[in-house]
Amino acid sequence: MHSNPLGKPQSPAELLSACQRIAGLTLGQLAAELQLKIPENLQKDKGWVGQLMEQALGASAGSQALPDFPQLGIELKTLPINQQGKPLESTYVCVAPLTGVTGQQWLDSWVCRKLSHVLWLPILAERQLPLKDRVIGQGFLWQPNPEQHALLKQDWEELMELISLGGIANIRGAHGKVLQLRPKAADSKALTRAIGANGEPIQTLPRGFYLKSSFTHAILQQQFKLA
């Protein structure tokens, strides 16, 4: 066995050494090691890769409103990339609050807290690669530098202002330089409360905050000194 899936890492260094142990394995190899069944595809099991990594690395938050490694204050984010090291999609951060948002401050926001310290785990996940053959890359720890922090804060404040002023219906994925707001629901019947254009309560699809792939690509470039 490469890893002790039950051992919770007690320090960032332990977490990184756990990442080194699984780097280079395929998802199939890691799943076999942890005795987990691989789903047919990710359509029905969208969160499977993240759950596999959580188990392999000893993340313990589960579905609680805590960082994935609560004792370290570190959030785990898997990042599917292509051969060139480019992210294949935007990265989900958290659900966006659509009511009671007036007066919310950036530093108290879920987005700020979740992105304050992230373990990025790149996974070579070219579309044509079967799930079991996708390869785990080298995980690394990241904290936003002042410039990245300022960009995130600005986007968050602008998006939250639009939500609080009843502009939810007008928010598109193109809004925001690094952070975007998109519908986040398993189906179109899962509606939630929000504020309409005239301040009236409305029903709308839940929204999630996502990091744009250009932003996560820049993080990878910064880490691995990619061209």
Question: pLDDT tens digit string along 78-127?
Answer: 999 999 999 999 999 999 988 887 788 999 999 999 999 999 999 999 98
Q: What is the pLDDT of residues 21-79, one digit of tens each?
A: 999 999 999 999 999 999 877 777 778 999 999 999 998 766 666 788 999 999 999 99
| pTM listed for this prediction | 0.89
pLDDT band at 1 (very low <50, low <70, confident <90, very high): very low
Distant-in-sequence, close-in-space partners of 192: CB < 8 Å, separation ≥ 6: 98, 203, 204, 205, 206
* pLDDT value, residue 171: 86
Out of 62-71, 135-144, 215-224, pick the least confident: 62-71
Q: List the beta bridge partners of residue 141.
A: 119
What's at 104, amino acid-wise? Answer: Q
190 vs 205: CA distance, rounded Å = 6
| Overall residue count recorded for the chain in this entry | 227
Out of 89-98, 114-123, 138-147, 167-176, pick the least confident: 167-176
* pLDDT value, residue 2: 44
Q: What is the pLDDT of residues 178-211, one digit of tens each?
A: 999 998 876 677 888 898 888 899 999 899 999 9
62 vs 207: CA distance, rounded Å = 21
86 vs 122: CA distance, rounded Å = 10
Can you tell me the mean pLDDT for 149-161?
96
CA count, 13 A, side-chain hemisphere, 24: 4
